[in-house]
Every structure is written in C-alpha cells, then in structure tokens.
Amino acid sequence: MSEHQGAFEEGLYSMGEALKRAPQIRGIPTGVEGLDELFFKTEFVEGKPRKVPLGGIPSYAVINLTGVSDTGKSLMVEQFAVKRASEGEGVLFVTVESPATFVSVSLKERAKAMGIEPSKVEERVFLVDVASYNKLRENLPDLLNTLAYAIKKFKVRYTLIDSITGLYEAKEMMARTVVRQLFNFMKKWYQTAIFVSQKRSGHEDLSAEAAGGYAISHIVDCTIVLAKELILSRSLANLYKVEVGDVVRLFRIDGCRLCGHDTRTHLMFITETGLVKVGPPLGKR
C-alpha cells in the first residue's frame, strides 16, 4: 500500500497558490461615523512597513457584532445596509427578531437620518423574513437555500443577520454548528457579513461572549463589542465627564484576522435621530 494512499491532495496548497485564489481585501465604508478609520492595513513605504487606514471594515469579513439590548447593534447594521445600498450595491438583511415590514420602517428612518432619500435604497435592500416564517428559523438548510437564491438573483455582496442568536436560542448546544455553517456559507459566496449576537445581562460587558458561549467569536473573522453603563455614582460621572443618571455607551474591536485594528475602548453615542457614532477612546475625550 502506498504511503500516500488516502491523501487528499486537492486540499493542499502552497501559500503562493492560495494567494492567487484569494480576493483582494479592501475597506468597506460603513456609514457609521468614527468607525471606518479604526481598521488598518500594512503597506511598504520606502522599504519599511507602515500602518495605513483601510477606510472601512475589511471586505469578505464575517463580523460578530455583540452586546446587550439597547447598545445600538441594530442601528449600526441598518446604517451599514443603507450606506451600501445608497452606493448601488445589493444588501441581504435577514430579519430574525422583527418581521420584515417593521424592519423596513426602521431602515427608512435610518436613511432619512443619514440624509439619504429612502427611495434610493428601497430596491437594493432585500429582506429575508425569518421572524415570520418558522420554517426558515427552524430549518437551516432551507434558510441557506433561500440566501443562495437571493444572492444569485439580486447580485448581493453584503449579508446581515439580526440576530443570529435567534437561530439557536432554544438549542444553545447547537450554536457552534449553526454559526459554523453560516460562516462557511458566507465564505463560499464571498459575502461581507455582519452577524448580530445577543449578550445576556450576566456576561461581562466588554467581553466577546454572547448567548451560546464563545462559539461565534471563535469562528468569525472579527468581533465588535458594544456595551452600556448606567452612571449611578459621582466618581463614575467624573470619570466619563457626564452627569449621574446618564447612560454611557462603549465600543471596542475585540479582534480581526484579516487586518489590523484599533485596540482601545471608545465612547459611543446614539443621536436623537437614531444614528450610532463612535467617539474618542477613553481618556481622550
């Protein structure tokens, strides 16, 4: 018997061969003020490596956006959807928590707040209504087939799931399997994707953990953590330069495989019109 019998040679590449098949990573503007400049790439300038802003989240990345309720996760993905659609690109929005009709109203409000005429994005954002159809929620192959059909039909480049937690909330032991299949699907279809995941109140605010444990953050390319803190002491009020009773929101990029990123914790704000903005790092306000 040959010592190589059973070897799967098709799965073996040199780094150079793999690079020839790999897409070029570029920055995808998000529509979220203060976020795009927090990702970096390395370029050689006069023979020396230099950090250069990527100008957005890395293309083809699958990003986990996690936090407790009311931290701005849905607002952030809605801004991203509107921004990309306003540039004439197809966006697939998988609505797991709220029916598509209500999400469409939110997207319309986000567009107006961003100064974009809603009619300019209405035909570029496509909604998959998992919230209303249990067959899509409970049967992952049916959901994946629906996503593949939409990606081909509408030439979609971006897929957003809000929230992925809803696909395994009653069976958290399956979380890793669900996330892995969706991650592999996004890679197969060359999607830039954002998976919103929910934290439980017992989780540490700025950790990457979400419902289902660390399953998501271990699999995806990048994790962004959003948090909030109710200021109930004068010492915290002085630290954050706010008043007692205010709510302070925080933003942190936990890690990213595809490019460099800012590692600091930033203040984050939600405007009166419902737009998320990433502010300065703590200590530089």
pLDDT tens column, 81-140: 999 999 999 999 999 999 999 999 999 999 999 999 999 999 999 999 999 999 999 999
Give the pLDDT score at 12: 87
| 250, 98 contact by CB (below 8 A) | no
Question: Where do the H-state alpha helices sit in 10-139?
Answer: 15-21, 73-86, 100-113, 134-138
Q: Where are the domains of the chain?
A: 25-226
Identify the weakest region by mean pLDDT among 80-84, 103-107, 196-200, 257-261. 196-200
CA 169 to CA 164: how far, in whole Å? 9
pLDDT per residue as tens digits for the range 152-166 = 999 999 999 998 999
Range 25-226 has CATH code 3.40.50.300: yes
- Token pair recorded at residue 39: 């990702």
Q: What is the 3-state secondary structure (H, E, C) of 137-190?
A: HHCHHHHHHHHHHHHHHHCEEEEEEECHHHHCCCCHHHHHHHHHHHHHHHHHCC
pLDDT per residue as tens digits for the range 12-56 = 889 998 888 888 999 999 999 999 999 999 888 888 889 999 999
* Residue 5 pLDDT exceeds 90: no
Q: Does residue 113 sit in helix, strand or coil?
A: helix
Q: If you average pLDDT over every residue of the chain, what do you get?
A: 90
CA 135 to CA 26: how far, in whole Å? 36
* Residue 197 pLDDT exceeds 60: yes
Give the pLDDT score at 201: 62
- In terms of C-beta density within 10 A (0-12 exposed, 13-18 middle, 19 or more buried), how is residue 219 classed? middle
**Cβ neighbours for 159, distance < 8 A, ≥ 6 positions apart:** 91, 92, 94, 147, 151, 186, 189, 191, 192, 193, 194
CA 240 to CA 283: how far, in whole Å? 9
As a dihedral over the C-alpha atoms of residue 30, residue 261, residue 69, residue 278, rounded to 10 degrees, the angle is -60
Type of residue numbered 191: Q
Give the pLDDT score at 218: 85
Q: What is the bridge-based pairing of β-strands 39-45 and 260-261? A: antiparallel
Q: Give the closest residue to 166 by CA, choosing from 122, 134, 194.
A: 134
pTM, entire model: 0.92
| 106, 114 contact by CB (below 8 A) | no
Band of pLDDT at residue 199, cut at 50, 70 and 90: confident
CA 144 to CA 181: how far, in whole Å? 9
Q: Give the closest residue to 261 by CA, choosing from 276, 251, 250, 269.
A: 251
**CA angle, residues 239, 269, 105, in degrees to nearest 5:** 155
Complete edge-to-edge strand list for the sheet that includes strand 90-95: 125-129, 90-95, 156-162, 192-198, 62-67, 222-230, 247-256, 266-270, 276-281
| 80, 31 contact by CB (below 8 A) | yes
Band of pLDDT at residue 69, cut at 50, 70 and 90: confident
